[in-house]
Amino acid sequence: MGILQDRIYAHSPIRLQNWLVSLYGIKLYRERYGQYYEQELERLRRAPNEASPDAKLNHLNQFLQFCNQHNVYYQRLFKKHGVTLPLKSLEDFKRIPPLEKETLRTDETIFSNLHAPIIGMTGGTTGKSIQVRFTEYDYQMRMAHLDFFKEQHGFRRGMKRASFTGRMICPGNQKNAVYWRYNAPMKQMLYSVVHSNPTTIPYYIDSLNEFQPAALDGSPSDMIEIAKYLKTHQKTLSFRPVALFPTSETLTPSGRLLLEEMFQAPVYDQYASSEGAPIVTECECGKMHLRPEMGIIETDAFGEALVTSFTTHGTPLIRYRIGDRMTLSEAMCPCGRQDTIIESIDGRQMNYVETPEGYKVFEGDLTAAVGVLPNSIIQIQVLQHKIDEIEMLYVKDEARFEPEHEVALQKEVERLFTSRMKVLLRDVKSIKKEKNGKVRVVKRLYT
């Protein structure tokens, strides 16, 4: 939403806010569900375990041929490194150098010369602001695979779902204890992660009991906070979902057990990214699978993932250094699928800022704040000096950054907190790395 739309939304009664959320839901519905979605979902239902030995190379060559025809960046890259298509083997694929985040952020020739109207924005785990473009085909293919994954575990489109989101769906100064909004076209109740804390969690539980969702998805950290409250106060829910589908953060074994215990439902994890990384989903045997038509994931000598996604025609990702660490497995899964197995995904962190009210704002929500800017922030770090004060360091792109960008960033970060949190922004030339060579995006410095 633009600034004017935000103002209208923030000052509207809750009934009208629900209507505006549903209106936006209609837009998303039209983008996600169309002919490509229906065709792919039906194909997956017919052949859920199909994965021929040559499938990965065939899909890769199709995608590389597309890039060579429609993308200036890859035309230059293939020519420079002597990449001849089609590739004869996956070993030849390694001749293509990795795509770095800084290139994705700054080189506009990375956008393909075709209609790609859907914009994805992310701050990523490293805090770089990145905007990417998707075609309708890309978006609908991804949705078909996500919905098929959920179907395998008992949830079908059209059933009610509760989604825990870091988006500002409730104004920060809201007086009513209604921390959720309804997206009617998708039968989706959106729950605000920002407003969830020990004082407000009972309202969330009452709402969930009234809504009776068939599944929960989104931020696992917030679901875990609700599960902790239920267990500590010896409360139970009046409904039993078919499954929980957490996203975006690393789910610990203890967190999974707590969710399954208190929600009385199995948890099935998934991995993707706003940039368009290939979708990885958990099967009934607890293994994370990557289908060959989704893409390829490699790891370097340090376990850092290089992802190639076949659903990124608008902004192709080929051997993209996404910033996560993964462990791949050669083992066969008892479920019978022949896909690549991701043994572990180690990059998604549950680092957070504590607030005076007792709730947590997690790293993913803080880094997502830079997504409102046009790729003008190179990196951020959030330092929490006191329980009621944070400092966001940011490294700006001198060629792209405008004075009003700091105002917009300040506003976006402040939206994650109440007025009790003091938010300071500081322009720095660089951000100091930890001993392991990585930048720690969130650091709590007080004791």
The secondary structure of the chain in percent helix, strand, coil, rounded to multiples of 5, reads: 35, 25, 40
The count of C-alpha atoms lying within 13 angstroms of the C-alpha of 247, restricted to the half-sphere facing its C-beta, is 17
Alpha carbon distance, N-terminus to C-terminus of the chain: 39
Res 195: pLDDT: 84
Distance from C-alpha of 412 to C-alpha of 30, rounded to nearest angstrom: 28
- Residue 253: band (very low, low, confident or very high) from pLDDT cuts 50, 70, 90: confident
Distance from C-alpha of 296 to C-alpha of 63, rounded to nearest angstrom: 11
What CA–CA distances, in Å, run from 292 to 11, 59, 89, 273? Answer: 47, 7, 15, 17
Res 123: pLDDT: 59
| Burial profile 15-32: b = 16 or more Cβ within 10 angstroms, e = fewer | eebbebbbeebeebeebb
8 Å CB contact between 283 and 289: yes
Q: Which pTM value belongs to this model?
A: 0.82
Q: Does pLDDT of 62 surpass 60?
A: yes
Res 370: pLDDT: 86
Percent of the chain whose predicted confidence (pLDDT) is above 90: 64
pLDDT: is 409 or 10 the higher one?
Answer: 409
Res 303: pLDDT: 82
Percent of the chain whose predicted confidence (pLDDT) is above 70: 94
What CA–CA distances, in Å, run from 409 to 122, 275, 387, 445? Answer: 14, 20, 21, 22
Query: pLDDT tens digit string along 102-112?
Result: 999 999 999 99
Q: Does pLDDT of 301 surpass 90?
A: no
Give residue 412's identity as a one-letter amino acid code.
E
* Radius of gyration in angstroms for the set of CA atoms belonging to the chain, rounded to a whole number: 22
Q: Does pLDDT of 13 surpass 90?
A: yes
Query: pLDDT tens digit string along 138-149?
Result: 999 999 999 999
- Residue 379: band (very low, low, confident or very high) from pLDDT cuts 50, 70, 90: confident
pLDDT: is 128 or 130 the higher one?
Answer: 130
Measuring CA to CA, which residue among 249, 432, 303 is closest to residue 440? 432
8 Å CB contact between 421 and 356: yes
Res 350: pLDDT: 54
Query: pLDDT tens digit string along 271-286?
Result: 998 899 999 999 999 9
Query: pLDDT tens digit string along 152-179?
Result: 999 999 999 999 988 889 887 788 999 9
Distance from C-alpha of 101 to C-alpha of 112, rounded to nearest angstrom: 17
